[in-house]
Amino acid sequence: MAASQPLIALQEAALGAPGRPLFQGLSLRLQAGERLCLVGRNGCGKSSLLRVLAGEVALDGGTRQLQAGARIAYLPQDPAPDAALSVEDYVAGGLEGLDPAEAQRLAPHAAALLEELGLDAERRCGTLSGGEGRRAALARALLGKPDVLLLDEPTNHLDLPTIEWLERELERFRGALLLVSHDRRFLERLARAVLWLDRGRLRRLDKPFAAYDDWAEEIAAQEAEAKHKLDRRIVREERWLARGVTARRRRNQGRLARLQELRQTRAEWLSAPGRAALESAAAARGGSLVIEAEALSKSFEQEDGGALPIVRDFSTRIRRGDRIGVIGPNGAGKTTLVRLMTGALAPDSGRLRHGEGLEIVTFDQRRESLDPEATLWQSLVPGGGDSIMVRGRQRHVVGYLRDFLFDEGQARQPVRSLSGGEKSRLLLARLFARPSNLLVMDEPTNDLDMETLDLLVEVLDGYEGTLLLVSHDRDFLDRLVGSVIAVEGGGRIAEHVGGYRDYEAKRRGAEPKPERAAKRVERPAPAKPRSAPGKLSYKDARALDALPDEIARLEAEAAALEAKLADPDLYRRDPAAFAEAGTALERTREALSSAEERWLELESRREALAAGGAS
Q: pLDDT for 4-42, tens place per residue?
A: 689 999 999 999 877 678 888 999 999 999 999 999 887
pLDDT 10s digits, 275-315: 444 454 444 444 588 999 999 999 998 877 788 899 999 99
Which residue type is seen at 484?
Answer: V
CATH number at residue 326: 3.40.50.300
Which residue type is seen at 306?
Answer: G
Determine the pLDDT at residue 251.
40
Considering only CA atoms, which of 384, 360, 371, 343 is closest in space to residue 434? 360
Does residue 197 share a domain with residue 94? yes
Spell out the residues 6+ positions from residue 232 whose beta carbon is closer than 8 angstroms to its own: none
Considering only CA atoms, which of 407, 432, 23, 372 is closest in space to residue 196? 23
In sequence order, what E strands does 328-405 have?
A: 349-354, 360-362, 387-390, 393-396
Does residue 227 share a domain with residue 279? no
Q: Is the pLDDT of residue 533 over 70?
A: no
Does residue 596 share a domain with residue 497? no
Sign (positive or negative) of CA dihedral 103, 109, 113, 119:
positive
Q: Is the pLDDT of residue 148 over 90?
A: yes
Q: Is the pLDDT of residue 380 over 90?
A: yes
pLDDT class of 613 with cuts at 50, 70, 90? low
Determine the pLDDT at residue 228.
47
pLDDT 10s digits, 343-362: 999 999 999 999 988 999 98
Q: How many CB atoms lie within 10 A of CB 435?
A: 11
Q: Is the pLDDT of residue 122 over 70?
A: yes
pLDDT class of 526 with cuts at 50, 70, 90? very low
SS3 576: helix
For residues 272 and 125, the model is more confident at 125
Determine the pLDDT at residue 562.
76
- Rounded to the nearest 10 degrees, the angle between the axes of helix 130-143 and helix 160-172 is 20
* Chain Cα centroid distance, residue 608: 34
Does residue 199 share a domain with residue 301? no
213 lies in a domain? yes
425 lies in a domain? no
- Residue range of the domain that includes 563: 530-614
* Average pLDDT score, the chain: 82
Does residue 257 share a domain with residue 230? no
In whole angstroms, what is the distance from residue 28 CA to residue 203 CA? 10
pLDDT 10s digits, 249-279: 444 556 666 777 777 777 776 766 544 444 5
The domain boundary, picked from 476, 511, 546, lies at 511
Q: Alpha helix (H) ranges present in 231-327?
A: 232-241, 248-249, 253-271, 273-286
Sign (positive or negative) of CA dihedral 520, 525, 530, 533:
positive
Q: pTM to 2 decimals?
A: 0.70
Does residue 144 share a domain with residue 218? yes
In whole angstroms, what is the distance from residue 154 CA to residue 131 CA? 10
239 lies in a domain? yes
In whole angstroms, what is the distance from residue 571 CA to residue 582 CA? 11
Does residue 192 share a domain with residue 136? yes
Considering only CA atoms, which of 513, 461, 459, 524 is closest in space to residue 185? 513
Strand partners, 194: 37, 205
Task: Count structural domains, the chain.
Answer: 3
Strand partners, 486: 327, 494
